[in-house]
Amino acid sequence: MKIPTPNSSVRDIGKVVFKSKNTYFDLVQNGTREMIDLWMYNYARNIPDILDGNSVRLQSVFKNNSKSMKNHKPNNSAIVIGAGPSVYEKNHLETLANSNYKGAILCTERMLLPCLKSGITPEKFPQFFVLTMDPYQITIKFYNDKIIKKHGKGISAIMSTCTIHETIEICKNHGLNIFWFHPLIDDFRKQGSVSKLMNMMSKSDKNPDGFPGLQTGGNVGCFSWIFSWAILGCSPTGLIGLNMGFDGDTPLEKTYHYDQVLNHFNNDKSKVSKFYRKVFNKDLGTESLLDPVFNFYRAAFLDLVVRTPRWTKTVNATEGGSLFGKRIKSMKFVDFLNTYN
């Protein structure tokens, strides 16, 4: 069986339905849509588990589906843990591990091991979630460790139906409780929508309506934030390790996506800097350097946060990075823990 390659015809669909004037945004988004063959490759291999699996609906506090979301009264807060550099620079894991925080912990997959090793465990924090939405092989290593088996039974793993199958197998072996969702990857209102087709195939006796489709924001940090309030009904949601950028004085060559950007310009270094920008974080008084991918993620997050229901509060406790603006409150992590516990 040949592993699928990017499907360039999907780019055309993206161009038709997506009319943003933001070039950076288009570039990443359309490039991403080309990965549809890989998503389908993974989806097909997950089908036996999907048909017998649990839905994220079981985790939802909105029993009347999302219609009751508008007037929700939250009684629990949440913390999203990303893998940005500040989480280590500011010792946020230790701070959390030593706290008596009672809310939900939402761990991006890359942070699962560091969290467990730091003492942030489901035994101490019973509402413990780990989330995966990327279809890539790299997710395997985030779950492949003995310590995960030790704590597996207490962990709820929120999995995209397009996750690489090997990751699902490891999670099953480690005893994690898997809950499925469909990532919304196209306009589901249209005939022949892939999101809709995925759901048709996932209907079973156990889940007669299939699974809900969730907006992801393009990265697992943003998706964890969406999950915290749109499914768990938590507010406020505190963010740590969601830098979405680098310190202002970081050389371009040291940024995470430099090689990919360089490759895009046929290794012409003089053109690379055109795709980078700096933003001044008014809340912290610091400068952040954005490569095109983080620029995309940041733009997506800022777009989404202003569209959330009024009862949601987003607190950026990262103490660094580029996320600030309308409906985002910046705060030190210790203050978040003291205020919202």
Distances, alpha carbon 79 to alpha carbons 94, 124, 127, 224, 240, in Å:
14, 14, 11, 9, 7
Of residues 116, 114, 112, 309, the one with CA closest to residue 228: 309
Element (H, E) at 108: strand 104-108
Q: Are 33 and 14 in contact (CB under 8 A)?
A: yes
Nearer to another protein, 70 or 117 (CB): 70
Handedness of CA 214, 218, 221, 226 (dihedral sign): negative
Q: Pick out residues in 159-198 that bind another protein (CB under 8 A).
A: 182-189, 195-196, 198
SS3 (DSSP) at 24: helix
Closest separation between CB of residue 91 and another protein, Å? 29
Nearer to another protein, 153 or 190 (CB): 190
Note whether 70 binds another protein by CB under 8 A.
no
SS3 (DSSP) at 91: coil
Give the one residue of 12, 15, 20, 335 binding another protein; rule: CB under 8 A. 20
DSSP 8-state code for residue 174: T
Q: By CB under 8 A, which span of 87-95, 147-155, 240-248, 292-300 interacts with another protein?
A: 292-300
Note whether 68 binds another protein by CB under 8 A.
no
Q: By CB under 8 A, which span of 102-110, 117-125, 278-286, 291-299 interacts with another protein?
A: 291-299
Closest separation between CB of residue 239 and another protein, Å? 17
Contacts of 270-273 with CB under 8 Å at 24 or more apart are: none
Q: Per-residue string for binding with another protein, 256-275, x by CB under 8 A?
A: -x--xx-xx-----------
CA distance 91 to 183: 32
Note whether 71 binds another protein by CB under 8 A.
no
DSSP 8-state code for residue 209: T
Closest separation between CB of residue 114 and another protein, Å? 21
Closest separation between CB of residue 27 and another protein, Å? 6
Distances, alpha carbon 28 to alpha carbons 199, 246, 275, 281, in Å:
25, 19, 12, 24
Judged by CB under 8 A, how many residues of this single chain contact another protein?
67
Pairing mode of beta strands 177-183, 54-55: parallel
Q: Per-residue string for binding with another protein, 205-244, x by CB under 8 A?
A: ----xxxxxxxxxxxx-----x---xx-------------
Q: Per-residue string for binding with another protein, 37-66, x by CB under 8 A?
A: -x--------------------------xx
- Residue 266, classified by CB atoms within 10 Å of its CB into exposed (0-12), middle (13-18) or buried (19+), is exposed
Note whether 34 binds another protein by CB under 8 A.
yes
Note whether 300 binds another protein by CB under 8 A.
yes
87 alpha carbon, distance to own chain's centre: 16
Give the one residue of 303, 327, 335, 341 binding another protein; rule: CB under 8 A. 303
* Interface with another protein (CB under 8 A): 3, 5-6, 14, 17-20, 25, 27-29, 31-35, 38, 65-66, 69, 133-138, 182-189, 195-196, 198-199, 209-220, 226, 230-231, 257, 260-261, 263-264, 292-293, 296, 300, 303-304, 307-308
